[in-house]
Structure 1
């Protein structure tokens, strides 16, 4: 009972869907017809607007041409009427022919009226106001005409008449000459309504509105208006006159024509019926296709979700080696899109160039039908940016539904992360070995410090006893006269001092290995250099190297472990001497110099929070003129057990940097010009002890 109910509901849903499709189709046809009608109306309106713009331009051209002809007529009037008496009659005839001119004046060079004539069509034009009220516009136009040596127009102005009427007038001034000399001006007063009525084509103005406007839209003169409430089109054209600019506005009513041409309506209707027929024919197949398409869609969605979730790259190829399918993981792996990969053959775009021949031979063997190893094989792929990465490829034959092999399916695993983990394990083992060696060195250093203390103490005791035997008894009054004996006493003193210094060095190394807190004191840079100077001088003299020591004046003392810093200076200086071998053929005596410099360096400027001064530092530098350091040596310079000398242990510079960093400073190096290397390190300056001020009674 439930199945028929389900089928009935399914059919009702299909019927409802069919009606919805019909309604959507009808709405589409109606919308299409509406759009076509709208586009046709817009086209007609644009066409009417273009025609109106052309008519307005034609009217402006007519007015401009008529004004030019009027100027020529006025020039001929002056030539045929040279005197004021003879000028009046031709002027009256001219004004009778040109209704747009309401007054003609002949003015002398001082712009005084010589002769004048008013239009007979407007009685008492200047009866309400005197003509002198328009004198500023006349003078402005004539001054402009004198500068242009041609006709010039004034700005328009309103001239009131009796009974509340008035006209918008404009002055035109034309300079005239006789026998090549200025002979005054001809002033023509135009009526703007007269210009619109007399100088325009009346055929173009039927049923249209015409007016003169200012540039800001203010209406000056009106000839006709558009009647009715219909929509109007407006066109504006500029009448550019010498000295003044007017805007001609032409309006036309919007003509309402047919809704749409019948041919287009018939075409749209035929297309609509054809579309409905096609949909009706296709509707019979929808029900049979829908179920099959839903099943296929589910199957494809399941397959795609499964393939997209894989991190293993999948690649299918046909029997000719062309790629037929790749999944997103493989595309991400090789850095190419599926569109770039599908259809490509051998050689593959991800093969390294130098391995193309080897990979080509291997693929030919597989395509020839050889048995494929199930355990896979390793290879190297290359991305478009040149990055290479190792992969593991596992291939299997691709069999279709008829049991025929159509290609190969490959699963590719990226081994980059596995190789990285292996490299990390290898590096960790190397660091553990280095740590074990350092621990062994620490134990050896502790053992050596313990074993060497007794011989050093014995050396110091023997040196003290020998010195006591060589010295003269007190109170004997006998001075040491033998120079050899004096030198021997000095040598014995030096032996005792160096034995004590060696004991301090061993004690400092032992404290450093045991991580004990070292005693730091304020030491002057000069005393640090003086302590190692005898040893440096002896070695420099033996190798023929000249020492240069420069200490900046007023350099503050440093707060440090005296013995350890002396050992750092001694180690850097010895390294600098060893970097300048005697067998260097390019070395010259002028360059065999070891320079030690000490100066104050303030790493920060200003004041610290709270108003306290920033911490001051003292910079030490050791400069040699050796062969310099290569890039490979610079990368491993401070690595423990790395050395460039056969007899070296590779711990000197590493211990020096550790000592300086324990003091809060930094040990750096840089090339020296023209050759050699500069080693620099910084130590904190000792704080200045300020004595408290005693308060007086």
Structure 2
């Protein structure tokens, strides 16, 4: 019989297995890491060698092109300067060599005697003259004269008509006559065009080629993608008189960790082998973990159900309670055992039959339509207290999808109903307060607006009494006229009461089509009456063709009176008597709107006052109520217009403007400003 294994032996075996598995995994990781590192290094070396080869071939090709260009220009220099075949030969040369942009013939003093521009490109020196850019060319020609051989100039930048420009190098070939330089042939070569012929089309799609200066500044570039700077090759192109640094930059970045398909397959098989071994080793442990996780999930689910404040209730197909969480038991006051009865004990006795029938109907509808809508009902606690609840029913399905009962969520809404009742009471109190505020607003507006017609009545009455003290032949007609004015103002006070009352209640007021001259004439007596007290002149400025408006006459006249009164009072203190002029102006700048202006010559409005000018109960006078301008703006906006103000045209004064709709466009939208 085999002796039982001791715990220490089992622990050693487990440790040995763990060490062996760890060494196996470590060796596999090391092997794969070395394979990846070697492959990446090989790919990087291969890419660098490839770009070095491309750089050498490009430098060789560029030198070959330049030397071929030199020979062709030398052949061109053998022709006589005055020969007729020289320009066609130069054109033919530039057509065959696109990088050649210009050919010049110069005399011994370096003065250009003839030149030909390339037909395939814009003229090279169209923006700047050749003389301004010939310093490097002249130096190359002087060197060619001394050496009696062709010389290349340093590169220089030539701006072009397209707003860009091109880096250019000149080739100067001396023309010898009797062994002595008698002139020069100068060919201008575009470096970007020269680079285009240095690479094959396939190479140009994968690399970027450029010419750089000694400090690394780029002179010209060609090729497809921008180089990444990872794989770079530089070559020096030696030319007679100068040298060019050629830089070839690969568009490819650093090799990835899996640079080719072979390595990917090897790594994939290795990883697959490792995964299979790990899965086999972890299968048993996963089963144990799954069992523990299931037990923990059931425990956690139970804890969650027990900690809910929402009641959960499960019933079978007969409607009997099979499960209830502690929240539901605490809600109704019964234990789970007490709920296992044919008739639920939380049903009020007076509703048992009604609830039983509702249960049959509702559970049948839930079974048929899978509905999850909630409904409200009344339950009874164990102490007999009734309380409202909201119930959401849903079918309870088993693992095979068969229905085994119903699951219900029960919410106690008694606190919510109490809050709703309290909110309703608060709303009623707020509505009562709002009605009281409306009554106060109506009283304030009426007292403010009735002040002017009552003041007019008092003025006419005082004038009538003065006439009666010393009657004459004109007394009776003047008394008759005064009494008519008193009657008109009394009628006006009545209209004000009716109109302000309608305005406070926000009802649509009766509007009519009126000429603007009638509106001005209606307020003119009251305005002149107040203007005489301060020595203010009143001027009326109406157009020849009087425009008409659609408005509430009483409220608009009140606006004109308020604005005129404010204008007169603004000129009473600081304005000299000869400058106290009030202007009432009407203009129709827009087909849909008529503009009224009230202009004074007072001190103007300070910025800090202007910001609060239309605020209710804001006033700058001790006796004012601060409702005039606020009411005026409300009346104009009620008509769809705009009320604003600006400084008058002169050095002093303010101009208040408001708009009213013309009759045909009474329902149109108001302009942004009063003078729009």
Asked if these proteins are the same fold (TM beyond 0.5), I'd say no
- What TM bracket, shorter-length normalisation? 0.3 to 0.5
- Could you state the TM-score of these two structures normalised by the residue count of structure 2? 0.39
- Higher alpha-carbon Rg: 1
